[in-house]
Homo-oligomer: A and B are copies of this chain.
Amino acid sequence: MSEEELRQIIRQVIQEQSDPNRVPIGVSNHHIHLTETDFKVLFPNQKLTVRKQLKQPGEFASDQMATIVGPKGTIKNVRILGPFRKHSQVEIARSEGFQLGISVPIRLSGNLNNTPSIKLQTPDGEISVQGVIIAKRHIHMSLEDAKRFGVEMGSTVSVEIQSEDRRTTYHDVICRPRKDFVLEMHIDTDEANAANVGNNTFGRIIIPKQK
Contacts and interface: CB of A to CB of B under 8 A. Distances in A.
A183 B195 CA distance: 23
B168 A171 contact: yes
A194 B196 contact: no
Contact of A170 (B94, B95, B168, B190): B168
Contact of A106 (B170, B189, B196): B196
Contacts of A94: 193-194, 196
Nearest to A165: B106
Nearest to A195: B194
Interface residues of A, number: 23
A172 interface: yes
Given A166-B137, A167-B172, A172-B165, A193 B194 contact: yes
Interface in A183-200: 189-191, 193-196
Closest 9 CB pairs of A and B: A194-B194, A190-B193, A169-B169, A167-B171, A94-B193, A106-B165, A191-B194, A190-B194, A95-B193
